[in-house]
A and B are shown apart, each in its own frame.
Chain A
């Protein structure tokens, strides 16, 4: 059911989206836009969202007692366990439905939102468990590439060369040394799942993936590139532009994996060098001042190039061959 933006605007002129005004996220933050997109599509498709959050920017800024910026049922438990918590909620639904305690015709969408901290690192175990057990939960990762709520500490999602407080660019070390963990591959390795990347600058692609994920008969995962205007040191109004640049430089390729079948959903005609992505953000400024900056950026360029080639090859190799 492809939907266009004007239709959505008409639908949600008066209807509650599920997240409200009054939250305390930074001006220009990518996270509330991510939530808006997901909840609008869920509601548009006739689902009633039940939302779970991991501790982080989104959670803390939307639920300062006694204020809540949520108008859908919401639960936050701890940092590392949103996947386990939503496994419990979804199971409770199935148990109560079997006992006849859920009204007929109710279609819930169980949606977890977590940052990269609560997903790549401390939350990985719970996520893996949820995927393995096959709970019908959509897990949305808003990836701002660091523990941003606590002031920019590095995570497994932080790109190499980025300046964070726990892996700063100093006289000796060039910021984060390790590559960014490939979370979508980790999720896809659970095989009987739907996993995809998405960006805010491609709303129709985003919406299509949310729909696919919600209708998927099993666990689904959406990795959204979610700029942090504060700690990536970009202007507040750059959120959508940086997202676009990420896709064009192959830094954030747009693809999906459905039961092992790879599909690249956006193939830009013209690519740009990843150096443009790096130069556009203040979090790489210190890196660029170093003598080895060129090498590090070159390494990153090779990585994104090879990863792109690999994706295209996987698309070819797995075409029409789902694992189940």
Chain B
């Protein structure tokens, strides 16, 4: 069977909406927020034209969007939504509940800065505030990846050893509104890959009435949380299996991380999302100039691929981490995660932390180059948080 339906030039939002169309969830409950809005608009058009049989709930807030999805998923339906920034922050309470209830909800998150002041442009502060929520978190570098990961996420979420909700992150405006070539797969293949949902104790099964969402006293809460830890650990085993199936079906290979010219790299740069395209461009340039540099792109941020990083970064000269978010009063989120993963490696590289791109501040090849040059010159201080593109 032909693996590719057609190659089109579309925005990330349209690509994600198209993936949702092909997945055809039973219920979508969504509230518009820039820059996620086009996803909801495209999907609403599919619903209005009868292209999908999905029931769409035009909820009155993001908090109600996630609440409705918890109800729908517990009832036994396949449920999806999408959001950004303050919308994600508003549903924060229920985001935790969705993970605790082990509901396989898939949610594209179009990354945008959290207010205040109000900013509608790209950064990762919204998803970083959900680090501890218990959701699986994937990051897309391109519109193709946003499309692919949305499809893959459905299988990952619903796997019986996992049963956790998944956030598929794509950079606001850069990917959501930027036009890129995307290869779309045939509907039948996507449907075959995602399969039928397997509900877990659905509410609509009145022959087996169950109680969802009890109160736990101090005698059981801990045990329920420990179960979530186990599920996250299982993701590390299940994801490669599903990624392999995805490759066999669609021809693209996903993993916890992408290694770009990493084999003999002395200096490695790590980042999440679309900035990796710029990093790869600069890596190519520097390689031409004779420097042994490489990029390690993280696809799966939660669960954090600690073992993979330890294996790939042990013995390197330097590792530079780029964060598109801050953690006020502590080290930047991705940097902190990488640093703590590297605590136990035999030969620890020199580390450098760079914060960039907040509130949509453009990150250019010269910024990336500067960070690499610091690394090459050994001019890195692990405890010092540096900034790219900030007017000091």
Contact = CB atoms under 8 A, between A and B. Distances in A.
A and B touch in the complex (CB under 8 A): yes
Interface of A: 48, 50, 52, 59-60, 63-66, 68, 70-78, 80-81, 84-89, 91-96, 98-99, 102, 106, 108, 125-126, 128-129, 132-133
B120 interface: no
A67 to B, nearest CB: 8
Interface string B40-75: 000000000000011101111101110111111111
A130 to B, nearest CB: 9
B213 interface: yes
A287 B226 CA distance: 50
A89 B209 contact: no
A53 to B, nearest CB: 8
Interface of B: 26-27, 29, 53-55, 57-61, 63-65, 67-77, 79, 93-94, 97, 203-206, 209-217, 220
Contacts, number: 158
A89 B74 contact: yes
Given A88-B27, A95-B26, A129 B60 contact: yes
B67 A71 contact: no
B64 A63 contact: no
Contacts of B68: 84-85, 87-88, 91
Contact of A85 (B53, B71, B216): B71
Contacts of B212: 74-76
A126 B70 CA distance: 14
Contacts of A94: 55
Contacts of A72: 206, 209
B58 A96 contact: no
Contacts of A89: 71-72, 74-75, 203-204
B71 A96 contact: no
B391 to A, nearest CB: 41
Contact of B27 (A66, A92, A128): A92
A81 B213 CA distance: 13
B220 A91 contact: no
A70 B213 CA distance: 12
B75 to A, nearest CB: 4
**Which 9 residue pairs spanning A and B have beta carbons closest together?**
A88-B71, A88-B68, A129-B60, A76-B213, A92-B77, A84-B67, A84-B64, A81-B67, A92-B75
A129 B30 CA distance: 13
A63 B212 CA distance: 9
Contact of B67 (A63, A78, A96, A102): A78
Nearest to A106: B206
B67 A99 contact: no
Given A48-B206, A96-B204, A65 B57 contact: no
Contacts of A64: 214-215, 217
A66 to B, nearest CB: 7
Contacts of A85: 67-68, 70-71
Given A50-B206, A75-B71, A125 B60 contact: yes
Contacts of A92: 26-27, 55, 71-73, 75-77, 79, 204
B83 to A, nearest CB: 15
A88 B67 contact: yes
A84 B214 CA distance: 18
B209 A125 contact: no
A162 to B, nearest CB: 27
A68 B214 CA distance: 8
A192 to B, nearest CB: 16
Nearest to B55: A95
Given A73-B205, A81-B64, A84-B63, A65 B214 contact: yes
Contacts of A126: 60, 63-64, 67
B77 A96 contact: yes
A93 B212 CA distance: 17
Contact of B61 (A77, A95, A129, A132): A129
Contacts of A66: 214, 220
Contacts of B213: 63, 75-77
B214 A91 contact: no
A66 B26 CA distance: 31
Contact of A88 (B58, B69, B210): B69
Contacts of A86: 71
B57 to A, nearest CB: 5
B58 to A, nearest CB: 7
Find the residue from B68, B79, B94, B203 having the highest chain A CB count within 10 A.
Answer: B68
A43 to B, nearest CB: 11
Contact of B211 (A63, A98, A102): A63
Contacts of A93: 75, 204
A15 to B, nearest CB: 14
B192 to A, nearest CB: 17
Nearest to A70: B211
A71 B211 CA distance: 8
